[in-house]
Amino acid sequence: MLAGYDRTLLSVVPTPIRRMVGLWLLGLSLGLPAFMAVFR
Amino acid sequence: MERAGAPGWGVMMQRFRDGIRGLGLPLLVAPLWFDLLIEMFSNRPSRIVGDALGIGLVWLAVAMLRRGGAGDTRRAAAVVGLAAGLTAGLAAHVGWLPSVMAGFGAYVGMRLLYDGSFVEAPPPPEPIVEAPPAPPTPVSIVIGEAEARLTRLRATAARLSAPSLTRVADAMGAVLDDLRARPDRLPLARRFLVVHLDGVDRIADRMVAGAEAPETLGPLLGELERTAGELRSHLRAEENAALEVQVKVLSDRLREEGYR
């Protein structure tokens, strides 16, 4: 499960939190611009 | 109680997650479809391009994620980063700095979300289409044919009263006897049976037809006799090597199991 993170500092962060942060970041960086495109 | 062989909850959950892997990404850019329609009517080409690229690149990233090969997560993250940057820059027109930040943010988000979530498998090797092997000639047929030739050769040698031909036939007969005992060694002696025996057979035919034996025939027959002897010793050496291996394997086994 953690194979991709074993060598990084992120390995100390619990997986569910990491996934949630990832989802949030993705929503902010991809979802928000896509949403903004409709209203500009 | 769980049935033996039925997948557990963990396995089923993983299968479900593999099944829907990446399919949430197109939902994030779903508003771009709507915007694409609007921009088509407003006739703003740069925004149309931004929308199309945002939608297309995200689907490309989904395809990469679902392929799941080595390094695909990283590539998919880069493609989503590019899609986010282009969406922000071209479709949403938010300026270059926020666009770059959106691209970087989407890349990091993808890495956080998908890195290590599944084991990346190397791409499956191309299936190798092998030609069906030619049906092998049964060993007994090959040996039987060789025997028939040898019998004819012996009869011819007796008729011509050629002792050198008889000696060659005897030497070849000895090889055949060995092969009959161990038919699996036939591939080692097939060339001998095909080329040498056939050659001697033709020579005997010519002599029966009244041809004068050239001077070189004697040494040639001697050579053939010697080759047959060499082949026998080669076959025997193979047997010996196989026996040695068997003895070693068995004695190692006994030693491992503590009997020696």
As for the ipTM of the complex, it is: 0.82
How many Å apart are CA B39 and CA B50, to the nearest integer? 10
How many Å apart are CA B190 and CA B139, to the nearest integer? 10
- Give the pLDDT confidence score for residue B10 in this predicted structure: 83
pLDDT, tens digit, 9 for 90 and up, residues B62-75: 999 988 888 889 99
User: Which of A22, A7, A37, A5 is CA-nearest to residue B98?
Assistant: A37
Q: Tell me if chain A has a CB within 8 Å of the CB of B148.
A: no
pLDDT, tens digit, 9 for 90 and up, residues B3-25: 556 778 888 888 888 888 889 99
Q: Tell me if chain A has a CB within 8 Å of the CB of B92.
A: yes
In the structure, what pLDDT confidence band is assigned to residue B123 with cuts at 50, 70 and 90?
low
Q: Tell me if chain A has a CB within 8 Å of the CB of B112.
A: yes
Q: Is the Cβ pair B92, A33 closer than 8 Å? A: yes
Q: What is the pTM of this model?
A: 0.51
Chain A closest CA to B4's CA: distance in Å? 25
Rounded alpha-carbon distances, angstroms, from residue B98 to B89, B157, B223 = 8, 101, 90
pLDDT, tens digit, 9 for 90 and up, residues B57-105: 999 999 999 888 888 899 999 999 999 999 999 999 999 999 999 999 9
Q: For B67, left (φ over 0), alpha (ψ -120 to 50), or beta?
A: alpha
More confident residue, B68 or A3: B68
The chain-wide mean pLDDT, for chain A, equals: 81
User: Which of B31, B36, B57 is CA-nearest to residue B46?
Assistant: B36
* Selected residue of A13, A23, A26, A36 to mutate for chain B interface (largest B Cβ count, 10 A): A26
Q: Which two tokens stand for residue B189?
A: 């002696």
Which distant-in-sequence residues (6+ apart) come within 8 Å of B238 by Cβ? B185, B188
Rounded alpha-carbon distances, angstroms, from residue B227 to B14, B139, B182, B221, B233 = 66, 22, 19, 10, 10
User: Once rounded to an integer, what is the mean pLDDT over residues A15-36?
Assistant: 93
Q: Tell me if chain B has a CB within 8 Å of the CB of A8.
A: no
In the structure, what pLDDT confidence band is assigned to residue B225 with cuts at 50, 70 and 90?
confident
Q: Tell me if chain B has a CB within 8 Å of the CB of A9.
A: no
- Give the pLDDT confidence score for residue B1 in this predicted structure: 45
Chain B closest CA to A14's CA: distance in Å? 11
pLDDT of A1 higher than 50: no
* Selected residue of B44, B113, B118 to mutate for chain A interface (largest A Cβ count, 10 A): B113
